[in-house]
Structure 1
Amino acid sequence: MSFSAFGLSDEIIRAVTERGYTVPTPIQKQAIPAVLAGGDLLAGAQTGTGKTAGFTLPILHRLSDRSIKGPSSGRPPIRALILVPTRELAAQVEESVRDYGKYLKLSSMIMIGGVNINPQIARLKSRVDILVATPGRLLDHVQQNTLSLSQIEILVLDEADRMLDMGFIRDIKKILALLPKQRQNLLFSATFSNEIQTLADSLLNKPVLIEVARRNAIADKVTHVVHPVDRERKKELLAHLIKQHRWSQVLVFTRTKHGANKLAEFLTANGIQSLAIHGNKSQSARTLALAKFKTGSLQVLVATDIAARGIDISELPHVVNYELPNVAEDYVHRIGRTGRAGAEGDAVSLVCIDELKLLTGIEKLVKREIPSQVIAGFEPDPRIKAEPIKNGRGGEPRGAIPSRNKPKNQTTKKPAVKKPVVAGFARPTTNRAPAPRRAGGRGH
């Protein structure tokens, strides 16, 4: 089927065609008609599935419907609010709104922190139909009485799971209290945790439920590999892999902001152009680093989980977990940056003895064992013992069970080291069949 089959306006179809898109992805096939129908929506969609177009296209169509009359006098109100967890994602979504709505008489605005608030205040004095915002800066404007949300017709919570992870639930509740009770609500989440279900129950009214891939699914064309290595030699191994394989565009994940800075400095000092992005970087620095990485002029981008949210690069070939995430679901988010739209990609994890149980938790979540390959010259030292992880989101120690639902009083033990093939990294062999392959869709 084509996009014109949805009944979208000619102006929107023209803009979509100019972007080179002809066939809707699975989530777009389900989400666009549901949003056009005007009801609430609960959508489970991984990153790279085309979900942004899945809600922006029907929103643009609904707001441009000339049969719906707005106020006869005064400045036109903000009619659609799209809440996102990070600045980068806000920029990506608002860019999509502008691109798809370029032939419509609708206006959009991005509202994020990390930049001067005064230009935003000035922008709000003119027409804004669609507002894409992060919760914190939106509430800053509310406190200064610079905007009204009293006539919002459509609310989108994009990547709601990440917003809850980042502690935005109280901000979201404050924002919801400012909105009219009669509105359309669209909630998109990569995972459906108990917290997401609770939020959905309180927010949505008889929602249409769509889920285009099994929960915590990973792209079929991504090659996963674990390289066992001592914690102190990870930097050297990463530099070795990048140079040996001549990787030209690599997204690397660390747990902490400090770790991201140190790693980027080390790689640059070793002739590999690298920059770090995280919450402590200025918005201009983050925007510049991301722009360089997207154009290919920057070889390595080192990022924390939160800062990487919203990075949308088609055909990104390599993602490296320099450190495994404490929360298993974050592995899915991280490697979702590669293998998008059915393209091939590599997901490489550098794993030290401290992280064995984190690896087990990830394998349990994705329902597959990740192949392990020791790199010659970087064999782990069998004399090194596991140590607790002191930093990282959630504050869980190394070896902790990577689950958000773990009881607070649960204690964890250091991972037991079985008789190794390579010390500290042997795992029991399994006869599990590989996960079934499924066709990927083109991400917008």
Structure 2
Amino acid sequence: MNVFKLLSRSSKVPQNTSAQTLPSAGAAANPQLFGHDAPKPSTQDTKKNRKRKRGPDTTEPLAPLPADLDFFGNAPKADAADEAGAVSKRSKDRHANGGEETGVNTNDDADVYDEDEAKRILRSHKLKITVLEDFAPQVEDEQSEKKKKKKKKEKERDKGKKKEADKKKEGKKQLYPQPLGSFAQLRPRYNISRRLAENLLEQGYTVPTEVQLATLPLFLEKRKVNGGSSGAEYDGDFDLLTVAPTGSGKTIAFLIPIINALLSDKSEAAKGPRAVVIAPTRELASQIANEARKLSKNTGIKATLMMKGMEVVDRSEAESPAEELAAQEASDDEDEDNASDSDDEEKSVQQKKRKQTRAAKVKADILVATPLALLNAMKKKDGTVAEMSTVRHFVLDEADVLLDPLFREQTLDLWNAFTNPLLRVGLWSATMGSNVEALAISTLNTRWASLSSTSTKLPPRPPLIRLVVGLKDSAIPNIHHQLTYAATEQGKLLGLRQLLHPTAAPTNGDTPSLRPPFLIFTQTIPRAIALHSELLYDIPHEAGGSSRIAVLHADLSSSAREAIMTRFRRGEIWVLITTDLLSRGVDFRGLNGVVNYDVPNSAAAYVHRVGRTGRAGREGGVAVTFYTQEDIPYVKLIANVIRASEKLRGKSGDEASVKQWLLDALPAPTKREKQQLKKRGVEARRTPKGEDGKDNKRARISTKSGYVRKVENNRKGAMMANRQRGKMDKREVEQGSDNEFEGFD
């Protein structure tokens, strides 16, 4: 069945659609985004580069990558004799190990690089790992704080402040761990669990992405005496703040070290969860729990998704002492009043019923939840949050949202409730503002200060390491962006129908066409419902009709949302209309495109929306954004993100979709406009009715003409008037029956 032919109005199917590579065609051979397109330098160039050491030069060609990291075949192949020698060496190693066959390369000496080569490989993959050493200020007196303020003022007056700031930046320690060439190196090099290595092989993980290439060696490498700048001296004991593009495998990057650490730590029987992962939405939490179950299969590690009614803390322990005393006194009074045996039997029966109705405590090593669901399960009767000292690993997936004002209070309450001094925190997201980083640092400082005040015997404070992949707050470079001006709401609806029913092939051969399945994002839930009702019958009956399009939003029940997600993943739904509920973290591997029917609320929201396509290095994804006259003050935010993404791809000048004249013509939004847009979106389309109660034409999604709408409104008005008239007649009749003349006495 040709989907494009069924949806197209034209009888001629475009010629280039069959040759077009789509994300739905399958997994990419190399899921990495950077590091495989670097040109080979000549020997003369390398000699010149050795002599020149003044300042970093990003335009210099990079040296060729090693054979195990050159996944596109740019490195020269080994001779047949070398291959035979490698095979014989592997067979000897297997014989020496007692014939053990793990399916991985046991020759680890060829995979170890020196420090300079490791630096070059990490830089070619656009990886920057920094140790934030200024995150732990000591607690000092007020006098010392005043002195510090005076010194700061003097420094601000000094003209050489910029030089000092540059020196501080250069003084931050950079880490260059051994890059991971393949997942097959995890077991021989880092001695991970055999079952975990088998599960990775079973799930098809072979080539690591950039974030996995850097974080897994940091977490798994053991302490070395002469570790240099590889990060091995920390022995995996640190807090991590990671900024990596969407679809780059962040979930696997933090699940593998957690599962491996839980498998190696079997000293004590845990009385509660040892690892907690929180996510902003239920869909993302369910996805993380599924991945954790796949990786922990047959390992004895249990991963559970937090559901309603689950108990995390024993309620008997969670009750306050005053409540327990009151309960004991009440039971003693009842025992004195009811001394008969029958009453005692009834009491025992009631107590058994109460114990049966109480839910059992969750027995899981890894607990995945949303902040509110976990917080409600940890709350006591007096409203306080119970402490959990068993948690050793705390992961905030989409940390910028979890530390945003919407979830900030809930997240910080959970963070402070985990009182284990050995707690290690991981913050992961594709976008991370400076305010989020500052809040994370201050939370770590206050938590450590409270721990040091309560206990004297504390382990050394771990450092905070920051990992950045590519450019911060930028979209992935392997998708095509289209910024379309539609003028009005009717223009957007017309443009969406043209995307859904293409009439001809695109004029530009480099620009791929949008083909299902794809997502459509709207600003509010009412707009998503209205757009769904408008497009419900646009797909022809031969292609499945209205069953091919659906809407998903937060007002639906959890069972309905799960059913829609299942149908969409199976391919039964081609077009899914949704809000920002699905904009973060949810992995749709075969999604061919994303349509921003309404402009996103921020540049970060755009990065996460378009990141639903082009996952794991898949090429051919399309991101279309419609904007109207009301959106013009905010379009420059998105245009800058598109321009930065295309620069990473190598497009500039005439090849770029966003021209320089457009960037110059678009107005720059003020700070207040950015804040208002992030909180409320575009105000013109927020409510279907204006302040005067009349229909808001700017927020309306409909193709009905003004005359038809006027006739419908008149008809509705006449019906309402008839109903009101009938109610008035009934009231008059009732009042008349009370005052009727009943004759003489």
TM-score with structure 2 length normalisation? 0.48
Separation in 2, partners of 1:63, 1:283: 31
Which stretch has the larger CA shift, 208-217 or 226-235? 226-235
Among residues 208, 214, 225, which one is paired with 2:465 in the alignment? 208
Task: Indicate if the aligned counterparts of 1:88 and 1:309 stay in contact, CA closer than 8 A.
Answer: no
Residue aligning to 1:270: 538
Task: Indicate if the aligned counterparts of 1:216 and 1:366 stay in contact, CA closer than 8 A.
Answer: no
Among residues 4, 16, 37, which one is paired with 2:200 in the alignment? 16
Among residues 267, 279, 288, which one is paired with 1:69 in the alignment? 267
Secondary structure of 2:285's match?
helix
Is 1:227 the counterpart of 2:484? The answer is yes
Residue aligning to 1:427: none
Q: List per-residue Cα deviations over 1:208-248 (Å, max 9, x = no partner).
A: 22111211222222111122212223223212211216832
Is 1:54 the counterpart of 2:293? The answer is no
Q: List per-residue Cα deviations over 1:115-173 (Å, max 9, x = no partner).
A: x4259898852521110010001111012589862210111111101223461111111
Secondary structure of 1:311's match?
coil
Task: Indicate if the aligned counterparts of 1:185 and 1:203 stay in contact, CA closer than 8 A.
Answer: no
Is 1:238 the counterpart of 2:505? The answer is no
Residue type at the aligned position of 2:635: L
Residue aligning to 2:218: 34
Among residues 679, 693, 713, which one is paired with 1:394 in the alignment? 679
Residue aligning to 1:260: 528
Task: Indicate if the aligned counterparts of 1:90 and 1:132 stay in contact, CA closer than 8 A.
Answer: yes
**Superposed displacement of residue 315, structure 1:** 3.3
Residue type at the aligned position of 1:322: Y
Q: 1:292 to 1:237 in 2, by over 3 A?
A: same
Secondary structure of 1:364's match?
helix
Is 1:279 the counterpart of 2:518? The answer is no
Q: List per-residue Cα deviations over 1:65-113 (Å, max 9, x = no partner).
A: 15x4013xxx63210011111101101111110000102101111115x
Separation in 1, partners of 2:405, 2:528: 19
Is 1:187 the counterpart of 2:427? The answer is yes
Is 1:5 the counterpart of 2:191? The answer is no
Secondary structure of 2:481's match?
strand
Residue type at the aligned position of 1:356: I
Separation in 2, partners of 1:353, 1:341: 35
Residue aligning to 1:80: 275
For these two proteins, the number of residue pairs brought into alignment is 377
Residue aligning to 1:106: 301
Secondary structure of 2:406's match?
coil
Q: List per-residue Cα deviations over 1:419-443 (Å, max 9, x = no partner).
A: xxxxxxxxxxxxxxxxxxxxxxxxx
**Superposed displacement of residue 40, structure 1:** 1.2
Q: 1:325 to 1:233 in 2, by over 3 A?
A: same
Residue aligning to 1:311: 586
Residue aligning to 1:362: 638
Task: Indicate if the aligned counterparts of 1:355 and 1:398 stay in contact, CA closer than 8 A.
Answer: no
Residue aligning to 1:117: 309
Separation in 2, partners of 1:141, 1:3: 37
Residue aligning to 2:390: 151
Q: List per-residue Cα deviations over 1:328-347 (Å, max 9, x = no partner).
A: 22111110111122212000
Q: 1:143 to 1:270 in 2, by over 3 A?
A: same
Secondary structure of 2:205's match?
coil
Separation in 2, partners of 1:236, 1:117: 47
Separation in 2, partners of 1:33, 1:124: 39
What is the percent sequence identity of the aligned residues? 31
Separation in 1, partners of 2:517, 2:601: 25
Q: List per-residue Cα deviations over 1:2-48 (Å, max 9, x = no partner).
A: 22423221111100110111121110122223333132111111220
TM-score with structure 1 length normalisation? 0.78
Task: Indicate if the aligned counterparts of 2:643 and 2:658 stay in contact, CA closer than 8 A.
Answer: no
Q: 1:191 to 1:18 in 2, by over 3 A?
A: same
Q: 1:81 to 1:316 in 2, by over 3 A?
A: same
Q: CA RMSD in A?
A: 2.7
Is 1:343 the counterpart of 2:618? The answer is yes
Residue type at the aligned position of 1:10: R
**Superposed displacement of residue 309, structure 1:** 2.4
Residue type at the aligned position of 1:19: Q
Residue aligning to 2:699: none
Separation in 1, partners of 2:312, 2:561: 19
Residue aligning to 1:352: 628
**Superposed displacement of residue 326, structure 1:** 2.2
**Structure 1 or 2: more helix by fraction:** 2
Separation in 2, partners of 1:126, 1:91: 16
Separation in 2, partners of 1:246, 1:190: 24
Separation in 2, partners of 1:359, 1:321: 12
Secondary structure of 1:64's match?
helix
Separation in 1, partners of 2:577, 2:364: 35
Separation in 2, partners of 1:102, 1:355: 49
Separation in 2, partners of 1:120, 1:308: 29
Separation in 1, partners of 2:408, 2:390: 22
Separation in 2, partners of 1:45, 1:282: 32
Secondary structure of 1:346's match?
strand
**Unaligned segments of structure 1, at least 5 residues:** 374-387, 400-444
Secondary structure of 2:625's match?
strand
Separation in 1, partners of 2:310, 2:262: 27
